[in-house]
């Protein structure tokens, strides 16, 4: 394996696919990763055209993921891909991920991790058996100021955490657009998305962010899910009361029918000594509030930030870093971890700070618990163990 660069294969993400392009941009930012092959679409012609547009060698543009994984595994170690990025809808996550792990390849998966919890647990077991690295892209935890927020909580700046409020309103599904929009079609189809719509798509991001910053696990929930658009098969709105392991309470709200909203993910955490607030649409600012002192604004790029926040910043203060860079932080740390372990070194705390297979499983358990709670007559439902 190269000491400086990893070779990436991609499954899905062909031309006109939004998230595939995001992954490729993010993977390339730091010069640690190069795209070497792909099975970029279930349509062989689209896969070929996409690979040609990306400048891939013709012999490494594959028509199926099975062909790609098998043929790549037969190449010399110095030539084959080192890991695969799977950017398909979640009903096409399990089989390629398992096959990649079985053939010795590390894996990056989009979220939700799988179609069912059972599949997620099988992938986790395979990762443990093989010792390979599996990452699930809960992107919002990779913003530098989110990492700064986590550090402030760890240091006890807020005191004992009492209240966590996280919301993710979007408006793009306010109308029935499924028939004309591929992104909407599969996300609202239970045959492709699974048991959950809105919560599976964005609610899992909110839950992961709450646990990541606070360091606390959700233990109970009381969920109310609604489908506002007539004819839609999965929920497009939901509100959840939360209880955390230290006794803190919380509220999680996610909606894709909040007309006029874009991606207004926001989290507020309050402890006995103060609170903090972060807004994804102003990602370079972290507000820290105190009872008897002025509010502080922490800004990306400044020297007073924690080492882990600085590790995930590329630009001087005042030069905004956003969604692509947050994605790139996941790829940078994932790649750095693989390179370190391949050389017999122990990766640093900064490098191992990315969402793992355990986070992916936790996300699937969150969804199962949400559905169980929404369908229950009981007020509180225990988080699935």
Arithmetic mean of pLDDT, 341-359 = 97
> In the sheet that 83-86 helps form, which strands lie side by side, from edge to edge?
33-39, 6-11, 83-86, 106-109, 134-136
Residue 213 pLDDT exceeds 70: yes
Residue 67 pLDDT exceeds 80: yes
pLDDT for position 3 = 52
CA geometry: angle at 375 spanning 373 and 380, to 5°? Answer: 30
- CA–CA distance, 77 with 61 (Å, rounded to integer): 19
Q: Which of 132-141, 182-191, 262-271, 371-380 shows the lowest mean pLDDT across its residues?
A: 182-191
Q: Which of 1-10, 129-138, 224-233, 250-259 shows the lowest mean pLDDT across its residues?
A: 1-10
- Asked if omega into 112 is within 30° of 0 (cis), the reply is yes
Write the DSSP symbol of residue 200.
I
Q: Which of 1-15, 49-63, 151-165 shows the lowest mean pLDDT across its residues?
A: 1-15
Could you give the percent of the chain with pLDDT greater than 90? 96
pLDDT, tens digit (0-9, with 9 covering 90-100), for 361-371: 999 999 999 99
Both tokens assigned to 28: 């390339």
Long-range contacts formed by 284-290: CB under 8 A, 24+ apart: 284/144, 284/145, 284/320, 284/321, 285/145, 286/145, 286/148, 286/149, 288/152, 288/157
Residue 4 pLDDT exceeds 90: no
Q: What confidence tier does 196 reach under pLDDT thresholds 50, 70, 90?
A: very high
Q: What confidence tier does 325 reach under pLDDT thresholds 50, 70, 90?
A: very high
pLDDT, tens digit (0-9, with 9 covering 90-100), for 218-253: 999 999 999 999 999 999 999 999 999 999 999 999
Residue 267 pLDDT exceeds 70: yes
Average pLDDT value over all residues in the chain? 97
Could you tell me if residue 215 is left (phi over 0), alpha (psi between -120 and 50 degrees) or otherwise beta? left
CA geometry: angle at 277 spanning 272 and 281, to 5°? Answer: 170
Residue 312 pLDDT exceeds 50: yes
pLDDT for position 181 = 87
pLDDT for position 211 = 98
Q: What confidence tier does 2 reach under pLDDT thresholds 50, 70, 90?
A: very low
- For 103, the 3-state DSSP assignment is coil
- CA–CA distance, 271 with 248 (Å, rounded to integer): 9
* pTM across the whole model: 0.97
Residue 114 pLDDT exceeds 60: yes
- CA–CA distance, 337 with 32 (Å, rounded to integer): 12
Domains of the chain with bracketed CATH:
6-136 (3.40.50.720), 141-315+362-382 (3.30.360.10)
């Amino acid at each position: 394996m190269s000491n400086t660069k990893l070779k990436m294969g991609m499954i899905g993400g062909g031309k006109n696919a939004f998230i595939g392009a995001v992954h490729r941009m993010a993977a390339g930012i730091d010069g640690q990763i190069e795209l070497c092959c792909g099975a970029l679409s279930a349509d062989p012609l689209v896969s070929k055209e996409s690979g040609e547009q990306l400048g891939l060698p013709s012999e490494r543009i594959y028509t199926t993921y099975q062909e790609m994984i098998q043929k790549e595994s037969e190449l010399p170690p110095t030539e084959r891909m080192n890991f695969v990025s799977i950017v398909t809808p979640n009903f096409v996550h399990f089989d390629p991920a398992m096959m990649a792990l079985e053939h010795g390849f590390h894996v990056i998966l989009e979220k939700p991790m799988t179609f069912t919890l059972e599949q997620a647990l099988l992938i986790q077991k395979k990762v443990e058996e093989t010792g390979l690295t599996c990452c699930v892209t809960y992107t919002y935890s990779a913003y530098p100021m989110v990492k700064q927020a986590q550090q402030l909580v760890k240091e006890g700046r807020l005191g004992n955490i009492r209240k966590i409020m996280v919301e993710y309103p979007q408006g793009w599904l306010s109308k029935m657009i499924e028939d004309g929009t591929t992104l909407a079609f599969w996300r609202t189809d239970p045959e492709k998305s699974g048991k959950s719509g809105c919560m599976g798509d964005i609610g899992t991001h909110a839950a992961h962010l709450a646990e990541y910053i606070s360091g606390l696990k959700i233990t109970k929930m009381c969920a109310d899910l609604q489908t506002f658009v007539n004819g839609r098969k999965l929920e497009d709105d939901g509100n959840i009361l939360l209880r955390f392991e230290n006794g803190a309470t919380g509220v999680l709200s996610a909606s894709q029918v909040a007309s006029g909203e874009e991606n207004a993910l926001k989290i507020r955490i309050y402890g006995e000594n103060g609170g903090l607030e972060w807004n994804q649409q102003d990602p370079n600012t972290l507000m820290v509030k105190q009872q008897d002192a002025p509010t502080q604004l922490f800004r990306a790029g400044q020297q007073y930030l924690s080492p882990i926040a600085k590790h995930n910043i590329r630009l001087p203060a005042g030069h905004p870093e956003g969604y692509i860079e947050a994605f790139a932080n996941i790829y940078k740390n994932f790649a750095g971890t693989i390179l370190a372990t391949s050389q017999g070194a122990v990766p640093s705390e900064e490098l191992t700070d990315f969402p793992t297979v355990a986070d992916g499983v936790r996300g699937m358990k969150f969804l199962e618990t949400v559905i169980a709670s929404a369908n229950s007559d009981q007020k509180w439902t225990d988080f699935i163990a």
